Structure 1
Amino acid sequence: MNDVLPFATALIIVAGVGLAAVLSHRFVERFPIPASALFLIGAAVASDIWTPLTEVPILQVERVVTIALVVILFDGGMQLGWRRVRANAGAILWLGATGTLLTALAVAASAHLLFGLDWRIALLLATALSPTDPAVVFSVLGRRQIGGRSGVLLQGESGANDPVGIALLVVLLSTSQFTGAAAVSVAWSFTTQLVIGAAIGVLGGLGLLWLMRSILLPAAGLYSVRVLMCVFAIYALTTIAHGSGFLAVLVAGVVVGDQRAPYKVEIERFHSALANLAEIVAFVMLGLTIQITGPHGITGGNALGIGLCLAALLAIVIRPLLVAVLLWRTDLTRGERLFICWTGLKGAVPILLGVFILQAGVPDAARAYDIIFVVVAFSVIVQGGTVTALARRLSIPLESVNPRPWGMNARFEEEPNSLHRFTIAPGATADGSTVNDLPSDDLWVSVLIRHGRLVTVTADTVLHAGDEILVLAEPESVTDVAKLFGRTAG
């Protein structure tokens, strides 16, 4: 019983942080600062003020952030889906894989030549700083989403380069000398991790999809929990097999993303909410490991100056050059290219990789960790704070996503293959047409939603671009029916 009051105190602190995480999304709608930046800096300041917070074991931080990253990557994979990945696979791979490696080399050379860091710590530092985190971008936008290919490329890049950066750092940490033989060993181990991760991710995703469709559970809430447990199992099995567990859960999410399954909407909502919370938890835990003031803090050494210089180089020189080279053959507009150049934001993954460097006991690891923190803080505050204004300046389409707390719900024992939902695209055949004039006898418009409101459907109802409709049509004719509306919503 003596532990009741300390436990209650700790619980109310956790509840307060969790509530702040949920409410932070309303804050970012008014102020263009990512909520993750506030929690990262806030946790670092709190640990300076109240020293017991710094007593959290670094190993525990690593484990918590690893679990959070698994959740975030799987949710990111589900949001992407195979259709979007397939349509932009070349650009995503160039940015996510090749871009990560080239960024690591460019930053390593800069850290060594400009600041005299040893080649090994410079390369480890550069590898940690190479992954991006567009989830920070989307948190800044609040209820707005990036339209067009820009959003797909940014999200796909972050999903691809996180596993690539992590796998590369893990392999580099196992190598103490950089010789020709060591380089071959690093390349082999790195490739092996990615291949094993991708293979298990595909198999795990297909197995998870079969499980979601085939085995019924007694309660709706259990479906989301089952998927989460399977995701952790995919990560663990891949890691045991010496593959990239992070890549495996991302690929599994992509495999599952576009497919229909019982309670799929509920599963997606559960994992999306969990990923948002996981991102905040990761930044809080990582912030507690940083000391800002004092002789061993960021301001007490030269980590602040080095970090700011590297952050500026990454944002203004290195990333724009790489994006210009890697995406020069794509049909992106000038505005989209500039937007992708600036929005290569750093997030929780670089700091997690910094924790790996600390755990490995590499010489000068503490200074490298402080530099990583400075770069991430600069990225999320300076770059993240200008994302919305830059998108408007470059005419990047921002699609408003208004909350819809009310819904209609109908449950079926069998999959409703004849029920389809569409969003009418501008210029589609249905745009401006009445329901009675639709050139097809094999459909029935049952529900029409316009500007978030339900509209009564009659034969004379005129359809407009942006309308969401529920249509009854036989599965064999759904392809022809979809052409009338221009694009499918789900």
Structure 2
Amino acid sequence: MASTSADLFLFGSSVLLLLSILLNRVSQRFGIPALLFFLALGMLAGSDGPGGIYFDDARLAQGLGVMALAFILFSGGLDTEWTRVRPVFWPGMVLATLGVVLTSLLVGLFASLVLGFPPLLGFLLGAIPSSTDAAAVFSILRAQGVRLRERLKALLELESGMNDPMAVLLTVGFIALLQGGARPGDLVWMGLKQLGLGLALGYALGRVIAWAWDRFGFQYRGLRLLLSFALVLFTYGFTAVLGGSGFVAVYVAGLVVGNASLKHKDELLLFHDGVAWIMQVVMFLVLGLLVFPSQLPGVALQGTLVALFLMFVARPLAVALCLLPFRRSWSWREILLVGWVGLRGAVPIVLATYPLLAGVPEAHTLFNLVFFIVLFSVAIQGPTLGLAARWLGLEKEAEDADS
């Protein structure tokens, strides 16, 4: 019997997933960011590559990306110990909010004044890649054998777990301003509402998830795992429908569940770690398929200039200004490292689909620019993270690393 299209789809998907897992092992061995491999694999499988898979559905890519990010953030919250992040809560929150705004505005000014973008379009370009990706940072550091001091690691974890919602808010807000559907004052109210509802509902629904995990009998382990999966989706969706930030909610819910005293918690952690991994792989592959590599050379010059400004000016300056009120607690070496560890990940690429779906002029150029900026950031900054931490002397002491 001849193979059906469904058979070919399943076979092709299995090959891509297996290659992604093998490439991740290569990444760990040689210290090369896995994100580069996953995106490159998607690009090779796409219509411009030997795979020849035509994929141009930004709506589907955005939906998969948002769902994947929800589970990745929940898993990140599960793995975050509140006792570690509590001492760095306020500097982390300032970086996750004001830091994102400053980075966005600085890049927007650069795009407008230097590259000639219309002001609002320039600020939209600045907003999309304004958040950081801690998962990429820590996977690279582990691969390079670098162990950061605990409070630095906690600060980066908290910032990256909480800064995606601000990038989403700025992206949606600037799109609304471009289309004449909002005023600047509306963004402030939207931000307060999203953050407030996200924190409140995330905490409440995190308690619900913890209660449900302990309540269900262990003879139904599969169903209980499925229940936790469904409740993560519910946490994101319910919060978003009410006008809050679903990303904040799932991260806070994960933080609540991860720090609760639960029976057989290891089972829950292992399950959601696996879910987060498959979500990362699928998301990067789909986003790689969505881009057309033949269009990237056309934005290479502008993308390089924006990426360099973001890496060497916008991010370090924003970090320095945000940590200025805490200067007695943070040394200049720590501020320098936090400023350099501003790796971009999948979130900017997902956010770059928003202008496409909204019909913003030059949306395809924006998407290609953001994709190029992410690749440039990961390729240049990724291999240097370990060197920077060692040069600044911010690794754990040997006796601490062994404990």
Common fold, TM-score beyond 0.5?
yes
Task: Measure, in 2, the Cα distance between the counterparts of 1:205 and 1:348.
Answer: 25
Cα deviation for residue 399 of structure 1 reads: 9.0
SS of the equivalent of 1:55 reads: coil
Of residues 154, 159, 177, the one that matches 1:152 is 154
Instruction: Verify: 1:382 aligned to 2:367, yes or no.
Output: no
Task: Measure, in 1, the Cα distance between the counterparts of 2:391 and 2:27.
Answer: 19
Contact 2:203 2:252 in 1 (8 A): yes
Cα deviation for residue 44 of structure 1 reads: 2.1
Question: What letter corresponds to residue 370 of structure 2 in structure 1?
Answer: I
Task: Measure, in 1, the Cα distance between the counterparts of 2:246 and 2:179.
Answer: 26
Cα deviation for residue 286 of structure 1 reads: 0.8
Contact 1:223 1:263 in 2 (8 A): no
Task: Measure, in 2, the Cα distance between the counterparts of 1:280 and 1:199.
Answer: 31
Task: Measure, in 2, the Cα distance between the counterparts of 1:5 and 1:178.
Answer: 48
Contact 2:65 2:283 in 1 (8 A): yes
Listed as ranges, the matches of 1:157-306 within 5 Å are 157-176=159-178, 182-293=183-294, 297-299=295-297, 301=298, 303-306=299-302
Structure 1 or 2, whichever has the larger Rg, is 1
Task: Measure, in 1, the Cα distance between the counterparts of 2:62 and 2:135.
Answer: 20
Partner of 1:440 in structure 2?
none
Contact 2:38 2:288 in 1 (8 A): yes
Change (3 A) 1:399 1:31: farther
RMSD: 2.3
Q: Percent identity, please.
A: 33
Task: Measure, in 1, the Cα distance between the counterparts of 2:309 and 2:155.
Answer: 22
Count of residues in Structure 1 that have an aligned counterpart in Structure 2? 398
SS of the equivalent of 1:327 reads: helix
Change (3 A) 1:61 1:205: same
Contact 1:70 1:235 in 2 (8 A): yes
Question: What letter corresponds to residue 385 of structure 1 in structure 2?
Answer: P
Task: Measure, in 2, the Cα distance between the counterparts of 1:210 and 1:397.
Answer: 38
Task: Measure, in 2, the Cα distance between the counterparts of 1:176 and 1:341.
Answer: 30
Range with greater deviation from structure 2 (356-365 or 216-225): 216-225
Partner of 2:25 in structure 1?
26
Contact 2:124 2:170 in 1 (8 A): no
Task: Measure, in 1, the Cα distance between the counterparts of 2:302 and 2:336.
Answer: 25
TM-score of the superposition, structure 2-length normalised?
A: 0.92
Partner of 1:44 in structure 2?
43
Q: Deviations over 1:85-114 (max 9, x none)?
A: 322111111111110111111111110001
Contact 1:201 1:249 in 2 (8 A): yes
Task: Measure, in 1, the Cα distance between the counterparts of 2:374 and 2:90.
Answer: 27
Task: Measure, in 2, the Cα distance between the counterparts of 1:323 and 1:98.
Answer: 9
Partner of 1:63 in structure 2?
63
Q: Deviations over 1:349-399 (max 9, x none)?
A: 001010111111101111111110111001111101211222222223269
Q: Deviations over 1:179-202 (max 9, x none)?
A: 9x7111222122212212221111
Partner of 1:94 in structure 2?
94
Change (3 A) 1:334 1:190: closer
Contact 2:44 2:51 in 1 (8 A): no
Gaps of 5+ in 2: none
Range with greater deviation from structure 2 (190-199 or 250-259): 190-199
TM-score of the superposition, structure 1-length normalised?
A: 0.76
Instruction: Verify: 1:340 aligned to 2:341, yes or no.
Output: no
Question: What letter corresponds to residue 132 of structure 1 in structure 2?
Answer: T
Of residues 321, 325, 330, the one that matches 1:325 is 321
Partner of 2:108 in structure 1?
108
Instruction: Verify: 1:353 aligned to 2:348, yes or no.
Output: no
Task: Measure, in 2, the Cα distance between the counterparts of 1:160 and 1:204.
Answer: 17
SS of the equivalent of 1:13 reads: helix
Cα deviation for residue 275 of structure 1 reads: 1.3
**Between structures 1 and 2, the one with greater helix share:** 2
Task: Measure, in 2, the Cα distance between the counterparts of 1:147 and 1:275.
Answer: 25
Partner of 1:310 in structure 2?
306
Instruction: Verify: 1:83 aligned to 2:83, yes or no.
Output: yes
Range with greater deviation from structure 2 (28-37 or 169-178): 169-178
Task: Measure, in 2, the Cα distance between the counterparts of 1:141 and 1:379.
Answer: 15
Contact 1:148 1:397 in 2 (8 A): no
Cα deviation for residue 50 of structure 1 reads: 4.5
Question: What letter corresponds to residue 211 of structure 2 in structure 1?
Answer: W
SS of the equivalent of 1:306 reads: helix
Cα deviation for residue 311 of structure 1 reads: 0.6
Question: What letter corresponds to residue 276 of structure 2 in structure 1?
Answer: A
Gaps of 5+ in 1: 401-424, 427-450, 452-464, 467-490
More relative contact order in 1 or in 2 (CA 8 Å, sep 6+)?
2
